[in-house]
Amino acid sequence: MAIFIRSVSGVLIILVMIALGYVLSRRGWFDDQAPKLIARLVTQIALPAYMISTITAKFSAETLKQTLPDLRFPVVSMLIMFGLSIVAFHLFRIKPGHRGLFESMFLNSNTVFVGLPVNEALFGPKSLPFVLVYYMANTTFFWTLGVYLIQRDGQGDAKFNLKETLKKIFSPPLLGFIVGVLLVLLNIQLPSWIMKDFQYIGGLTIPLSMIFIGTAIAGAGLQSVHLNRDSLGILLGRFIVAPVLMGLLVIPTGMPLIMKQVFILQAAMPVMTNAPVVAKLYHADADYAAIMVTETTLLSLVVIPILMVIVQHVA
């Protein structure tokens, strides 16, 4: 019972901030440009600073050396998920025009805007390196395979741009992670005032991320939430297939318990908030992507406490 209460409490922390973003958005505090500004502040400023300050403060070179090789587990999981997404596309008889979006959303999870705050609330800063290991795999798959699939929906013959793809993969959050890791591995100590700045700026990451989700839900509208074949397939993939698959991969291993728990929870996060943006860019069905972001984000508030209890007893 204590585990369930802790899980619910962690999600309630997140829910209050999401509700704040939703209410303020509905009351007209944010214009159309505000969500873009918040997203840029989080991904390009706050999150890199958060990663540098937390990694250098909380982790040793030995811990990081032991953690990074486990990147193979999310990579293997996502490769299998891609194969399963093709099966699910045919099984649920998804509209042909939604194939790329369906497969991409089935495959990738929201590891930053939802995954990071949820794991922080449930496990504290010690979960960060495991969150980031999963994030490395997830962001690479999304900006390569995921974008290719979405582009194919909107433009037919998708084109692969190596320069743009590398630019997306090596985004400010990943660069912040790399800098933090290098500082620890090379035993480099930055001046305390710089680290204090990173700490303060990084502290914006979680609240701004949740306010962003709230504005996204308000923008899509709760009335747009409904169940059909296209959405049921995504819900099945995100909240059942992905965490079960990850559990099968990591539970038999000897990795630390918290790493198992983080990987399973990260696998069960909602659809990436980037999906509607990319869909709009390549003239795919951005409304479908936005609705799935909303549905999976709302449902995750119910799924996460239940999954947390299961994970504590299984892993």
CB neighbours of residue 83 within 10 Å: 11
Cβ–Cβ < 8 Å for 242, 76? no
Residue 240: the pLDDT is 94
Residue 18: the pLDDT is 80
204 by Cβ neighbours in 10 Å (0-12 / 13-18 / 19+) ranks as: middle
Which residues of the chain have a pLDDT value below 50?
A: none
For the whole model, what pTM was predicted? Answer: 0.77
Residue 164: the pLDDT is 65
Cβ–Cβ < 8 Å for 150, 282? yes
Spatial CB neighbours of 16, under 8 Å, sequence gap ≥ 6: none
Residue 243: the pLDDT is 94
Half-sphere exposure of 156 (CA within 13 A, CB side): 0
Burial string for 148-168 (b: 16+ CB within 10 Å, else e) reads bbbbbbbeeeeeeeeeeeeeb
Residue 81: the pLDDT is 95
- The answer as to CATH 1.20.1530.20 being correct for domain 2-314 is yes
Residue 197: the pLDDT is 93
Residue 7: the pLDDT is 64
